[in-house]
Structure 1
Amino acid sequence: MTKQTNAIIVFDIDGVIRDVGGSYRRAIADTVEHFTNRVYRPTDVDIDNLKSEGIWNNDWDGSQELIYRHFVSQGKTREQLQLNYEKIVTYFQSRYRGTDPENWNGYICNEPLLLQPRYLEELTQADISWGFFSGATRGSATYVLEKRLGLKSPVLIAMEDAPGKPDPTGLFATINLLEKGFDKKQTVIYVGDTVADMHTVEKARNLDSSRKWVGVGVLPPHVQETAARRDAYVATLMKAGAKIVFNNVQELTPVKIQEWEI
């Protein structure tokens, strides 16, 4: 029998719970291509390089930034461009959610899941509380957690609930919901796939040194296609503060957590 573990786990969603290589990332590429008049379509490596800067967790912002950088590389200034952010968001959502606001028909409908409900049940059986802190919109996060995974009202802090990562406000809010007044501060494990996720843990640690913080990296599927990309991405996450990097989130087992003497 697995012994009780003094830890709670908070999961990012995109790249951890679901594969967004053909959805969010495809929507970024579509959006940038559209607003650069079909001149520039960013590759996965281009998007990874942007996200490795640690401040582009919001894909709407990231899309706008890639558009700006393309035109700046062509000799224009940001002031000259005056991009319409709302139009960028609207176009992005038309690709990601689709064209029907009631019954979504966009890329989100075909996102492969990266974990099974059984894994979360095993965490619960080991007395490990778990929840989600994501930069995804609440609608998008709820879609995958409740409709796809079948979870019932999971603890979730989404885009609308807190500032974007690496600001740790949302992580703290998730922890408060999970601990429910528990008098002993538990170790927090935050599982994410980006530099911003690992920096969020670092900032949380700086604000609250009274508990143990562990950043766990997960490799999104698109970087596992070649050994070189995989190794480079692992190095990036480790440099950003990850304690360990897994190929899949379900490798973070209760037994593995116990090995860390939490």
Structure 2
Amino acid sequence: MTKKANTIIIFDIDGVIRDVSGSYRRAISDTVEHFTAQAYRPTPTDIDNLKSEGIWNNDWEASQELIYRHFVSQGKTRTELQFNYQDIVTYFQTRYRGTDSENWNGYICNEPLLAQPSYFQELTQSGIAWGFFSGATRGSANYVLEKRLGLQSPILIAMEDAPGKPDPTGLFATINLLENGSDKKQTVVYVGDTVADMHTVEKAKALDDSRTWLGVGVLPPHVQETAARRIAYTETLMNAGAKIVFNNVQELTIKTIPKSES
């Protein structure tokens, strides 16, 4: 118990705490389709392939990149393409958050939850400190954490608070908030569903070798539809640094935290 009480678990949100295949990812496809004049709608596999490059954690930037790549494949050059990034962001948000800025009515309203409040209560009872580091906006993250899950002012570093992953600045900031001047926790577990998440852990490890860093992968629901995709995605996360990969975040418990190499 003492060893586990010396552990911090930090969670990504999208694909880990909520299923975003019908929300964020659908908004990516809608946005790309809109800005390519219906010529190209990326498939879930297209989006996974882009994100496997490890640098497209921001879905607005991912949308823009897929738009550019489509036109480049048609013989255009990036320099002759004049897309306004803010226009891409604005359109994306009308799909994801919806058309009402006060009472959201977009895809975000129907995201299936992948964890229950009782899971976090069990972590607390086990003496494990926990929080969230996500590339989602603070509004979107708090929508799921507080409004949907009912968590009370959870520790959160969101898009507005730190550079995007795989930069580990936000991971360190989350740790600082969780420790809050108290004794240093020896083991840090970061739970994510993308290559960028695992690379974030690897970069943190390179900057601070005084802790044990563990990357834990979670398979987002959309890659679990076939065995082949599940196996391929698991291998991708393991190759990026994951110590273990679960089908659901709630499989990570006090008993299943991976042992570090000694």
Kindly provide the CA deviation profile for residues 127-159 of structure 1, in whole angstroms up to 9, marking residues without a partner as x. Answer: 000000000000000000000000110000000
Identity of aligned residues (%): 80
Superposed, 1:1-262 pairs within 5 Å as: 5=4, 6-257=6-257
Could you say what secondary structure the match of 2:255 adopts? helix
**TM-score normalised according to structure 2 size:** 0.97
The change in CA–CA distance for 1:258 and 1:237 in structure 2 (over 3 A counts) is: closer
Equivalent residues, number: 261
- In structure 1, what is the Cα distance between the partners aligned to 2:223 and 2:123? 27
| RMSD between superposed Cα atoms in Å | 1.3
The change in CA–CA distance for 1:165 and 1:259 in structure 2 (over 3 A counts) is: closer
- In structure 2, what is the Cα distance between the partners aligned to 1:166 and 1:257? 22
**TM-score normalised according to structure 1 size:** 0.97
The change in CA–CA distance for 1:31 and 1:145 in structure 2 (over 3 A counts) is: same
User: Displacement, 1:3?
Assistant: 5.5
Contact 1:36-1:67 at 8 Å conserved across structures: yes
Stretches of 4+ moved more than 6 A in 1? Answer: none
Could you say what secondary structure the match of 2:256 adopts? helix
Contact 2:214-2:258 at 8 Å conserved across structures: no
* Unmatched 5+ stretches in structure 2: none
- In structure 2, what is the Cα distance between the partners aligned to 1:56 and 1:4? 35
- In structure 1, what is the Cα distance between the partners aligned to 2:206 and 2:110? 39
- In structure 1, what is the Cα distance between the partners aligned to 2:209 and 2:136? 28
Could you say what secondary structure the match of 1:256 adopts? coil
The change in CA–CA distance for 1:15 and 1:252 in structure 2 (over 3 A counts) is: same
Could you say what secondary structure the match of 1:86 adopts? helix
